[in-house]
Structure 1
């Protein structure tokens, strides 16, 4: 599915589900087993989502604004000390989301590099798929953090409690999830908070560099950073794979009959270039509005971390352009290396000068 309307339908209609294996079992007359996962729909998904949603409320994310700004300034300070050319990926795109998600999860920020390394390995695709050893090592790390969070609960669950603290409380005091579910959900939140935003910062700057007239508009009018972020999210692919869902019943969509059990791929990247929704969609336009892109998904599985990602992107772009008004690529953009074989389409590096 590539049309915007059809993609929205598949992502939100109960005629389709992410839970491919569970649905296959149900259609075979079997009862799906195992732990709940975020790929499920309905009650299992809602229960897991509710356990972490309080950490991503607009109010909680807005309260992080000073911290995000301080981290961004500190990272750019260090980049300036290094001097041009400097790698924007290593100096800003990778560490900023890592700092933010570590704080939300309750992980020591000094562990962010090893955590990023594990996430990079578990999001690999292709031969062999995700690195199972990395998954095991990351799960073991989280398990070692559980007693620390458990100790923090002796005074009760505080409103500002970290995500992991909330999950430990849900496991210990409410019997709301198993240890397997706690570990899996923490990994999903961590990987989701790292990989996509890292890609969006680096690739987003490349997109602006490739459209100098649009970049000049944002430099001239800082208020354009907000619509520019939305346009980058629409225009610049971040996820490098098409999501696969399965039909739960026979339906007609896009003029075709889709039978119960059929697999359906949805291309969010194509939907974000649908001319019926985004006129002149092949042009990057930082003044575009409205901009109902699907970069964060749609429906019940809309990305929980959307507000955090928007804050990080807005802060990164606005601070870079304010502090380094002559920021420019230090190498030909055609020579940049893009990381393949992962869920996200990331830059290997982005040398910049100023």
Structure 2
């Protein structure tokens, strides 16, 4: 770790600051440095994976402010363009705020209503059972990542989007490349290949539209109809929105299933409590979302005007990097915050964000997680880890953490 030279006004210079602490470096555990930084009175500066410098926000109250205050935005490029006197123009994106964001969000929101997601429960259960059936046929030890954590979310999001399920491996590969962080990331070639793939599906959806989309039409069909009949979005916006939904539905839930199960293995008393009372699964999912890092690097935001967070003045145009993982361990919001407790309540975690950009796919993720954990523990009551936890590999350098494999036996 390197440290900053200090200017006369006491602000670290750009060339030498601590790197953002990644949980990939600590085997999926919350990096201890994040807890130390949260307990500081003033906000620290960190170097992001792409080399930019930002204020690091780690306290629960402050992270909620950044996520829900109009003086912060995820539309960094748009703000930078306006600061330079240029017209950002171009396509709308879900990173924008206000009307552009709400217009795009409304085009896909119907697919993620709690009612529609709950209607998927029998199918999610059937997919889960089929995947566990295949794992049982192969016999132990088996990799829970490959057999369940990766395919289950991929099947679900492909169905919602209207993508062929058999293409899920290729889709996952493209998403892995476009969610990389650091120098030279994300991979522009992967974005181009993925958008071309989606573009080739558009005529198929258009041909099946007839008089209009059915009430339960897949997302891509609905977007094609919005593009063709109401001119509600451009083709560039359609493709971008489909990619965002796909990427959001894949890697985060894949990691939450595998890393969540590992977390239970690491806490056998909590695993036993859940086995003894399966009705605890809903609260257990919330606690896993709070305690287990899944998103490693949240999207940076930018201040549109001067803002004070605690005793720190954030200047207009300053970048701000939140850590939801650190905020979810804040003792000011969670009594005994460092204890993993499947019966915890209330649990105001920020795993799905907060405010206008709260994750659209939260209900789907919760359904998949509840189904995966409850089915595993019901069908395989002796399920156990089949490798030392310290021997497991974690992928870094991406927005989302990933446990590469999780050998299990039963």
Matched, 1:347 2:403: yes
1:160 Cα deviation from its structure 2 partner: 0.5
For 1:337, which of 374, 378, 393 is the aligned residue?
A: 393
Residue pair 1:243, 1:267 contacting (<8 A) in 2 also: no
**What corresponds to 1:152 in structure 2?**
208
Q: Residue 155 of structure 1 aligns to a residue in which SS?
A: coil
Residue pair 2:298, 2:399 contacting (<8 A) in 1 also: no
**What corresponds to 2:353 in structure 1?**
297
1:110 Cα deviation from its structure 2 partner: 1.1
Q: Residue 210 of structure 2 aligns to a residue in which SS?
A: helix
**What corresponds to 2:384 in structure 1?**
328
For 1:268, which of 317, 320, 324 is the aligned residue?
A: 324
1:198 Cα deviation from its structure 2 partner: 0.2
**What corresponds to 2:70 in structure 1?**
14
For 1:25, which of 78, 81, 93 is the aligned residue?
A: 81
Deviation per CA, 1:190-247, whole angstroms, max 9, x where unpaired? 0100010000000000100000000000000000110000000000000111431111
TM-score normalised by the chain length of structure 1: 0.98
**What corresponds to 2:222 in structure 1?**
166
Q: Whole-Å Cα distance in 1 between the matches of residues 183 and 404 of structure 2?
A: 20
Matched, 1:217 2:273: yes
**Counterparts of 1:222-237 in structure 2 under 5 Å?**
222-237=278-293
Deviates more, 1:341-350 or 1:128-137: 128-137
Q: Whole-Å Cα distance in 2 between the matches of residues 202 and 312 of structure 1?
A: 12
**What corresponds to 2:150 in structure 1?**
94
C-alpha root-mean-square deviation of aligned residues, in Å?
0.9
Structure 1 unaligned blocks of 5 or more: none
1:157 Cα deviation from its structure 2 partner: 1.7
1:264 Cα deviation from its structure 2 partner: 1.1
Matched, 1:202 2:258: yes
Matched, 1:183 2:239: yes
**What corresponds to 1:244 in structure 2?**
300
Identify, as 1 or 2, the structure richer in helix.
1
Structure 2 unaligned blocks of 5 or more: 1-56
Matched, 1:40 2:91: no
